[in-house]
A and B are shown apart, each in its own frame.
Chain A
Amino acid sequence: DAGVTQSPTHLIKTRGQQVTLRCSPKSGHDTVSWYQQALGQGPQFIFQYYEEEERQRGNFPDRFSGHQFPNYSSELNVNALLLGDSALYLCASSGGSGTASEQYFGPGTRLTVT
C-alpha cells in the first residue's frame, strides 16, 4: 500500500517565479492538507482540500493556492516567490471526509528560493 507521495523531492527557484508542488494521498484517503515547515520550526498549516474544494485555510497570503483533482491528488501553487518561501512543504492525507484526526505525511518537497 503506497503511502503519501510528493513530487518533486527538491526544487530550486528564483524570486518572483512560480512553483507547483504535487501530492498523491494514501490509498483510501479523500482529504489533503498542506503544511509549510521553515528551517528550525514546526509545520504550519497552509490549507486543506476535500471534494475538490478548499475547506479551511491557515494564515498564508493569496500567493499560495491549491487544487484537488477527482482522484484526490492535490497541487500546491505558490506565485511571486519570496526568499522566505524557502521551506519543506509537507502534504498530509486523511480519511473520514476530513473529520479523521490522524494525518499521514509524505516525505515533503524541499523548496529553495534564491
Chain B
Amino acid sequence: AQSVAQPEDQVNVAEGNPLTVKCTYSVSGNPYLFWYVQYPNRGLQFLLKYITGDNLVKGSYGFEAEFNKSQTSFHLKKPSALVSDSALYFCAVRDVAKTGFQKLVFGTGTRLLVSP
C-alpha cells in the first residue's frame, strides 16, 4: 500500500531563515507526491506536486520540494520563512485503484511555527 511518513510533529523556525518540512514515502511504482497546507479552521490548500521530471518542484507562495528517489523523500522547503507560513503541512501520495480511480493517502501532518 502507498504511504507517506512525516517524522516531525512540529518544526520551529525564525522568520527569514530557511525551512524544511520532511516527508518520506513508500510506494509501488512511480510516486505521485503532493504537499498541502491547512490554516486554522480551513480546508486543505494545494501547494505543489511531483509527477515526473525535475527533482526540484516549485509551487505556490515561494515553496518548493525536492524529490529524492534514492532516499525516498520529498521534503518541502522555502528559502526564507514568513510568520504567515505558520500552519499545518501535509504530505500525500496518490493511490490508484485497479479501476483507475485515484485517492490521496496523507501523512500525519507537521505543524510549522515561524517566530518573528
**Chain A interfacial positions (CB closer than 8 Å to B):** 4, 6, 31, 33, 35, 40-45, 48, 50, 55-56, 58, 90, 92, 94, 98-108, 110
Question: From residue A50, how far is it (CB to closest CB) to chain B in Å?
Answer: 7
Residue B22 interfacial (CB < 8 Å): no
Task: From the candidates B32, B90, B109, name the one contacting A101 in the complex (CB within 8 A).
Answer: B32
22 residue pairs bridging A and B, Cβ less than 8 Å apart: A41-B108, A41-B109, A42-B90, A42-B106, A42-B107, A42-B108, A43-B44, A43-B90, A45-B104, A55-B101, A56-B99, A90-B43, A92-B44, A94-B102, A99-B101, A99-B102, A100-B102, A101-B51, A104-B46, A105-B44, A105-B46, A108-B42
Residue B45 interfacial (CB < 8 Å): yes
Task: From the candidates A35, A41, A44, A101, name the one contacting B49 in the complex (CB within 8 A).
Answer: A101
Residue B103 interfacial (CB < 8 Å): yes
Residue B100 interfacial (CB < 8 Å): yes
4 closest A-B pairs by CB: A42-B106, A105-B44, A105-B43, A107-B43
Q: Which residues of A contact B34 (CB under 8 A)?
A: 102
Count residues on chain B whose CB falls below 8 Å from chain A CBs. 26
The answer to whether B43 and A106 touch across the interface, beta carbons within 8 angstroms, is: yes
Residue B105 interfacial (CB < 8 Å): yes
A92–B38 alpha-carbon span in the complex (Å): 14
Q: A48-B101, A55-B101 are in contact. Are A101 and B106 (CB under 8 A)?
A: no
Question: From residue A93, how far is it (CB to closest CB) to chain B in Å?
Answer: 11
CB contact list, B1-49 vs A, under 8 A = 32, 34, 36, 41-46, 49
Q: Which residues of B contact A103 (CB under 8 A)?
A: 46, 104
A106–B106 alpha-carbon span in the complex (Å): 16
The answer to whether A33 and B36 touch across the interface, beta carbons within 8 angstroms, is: no
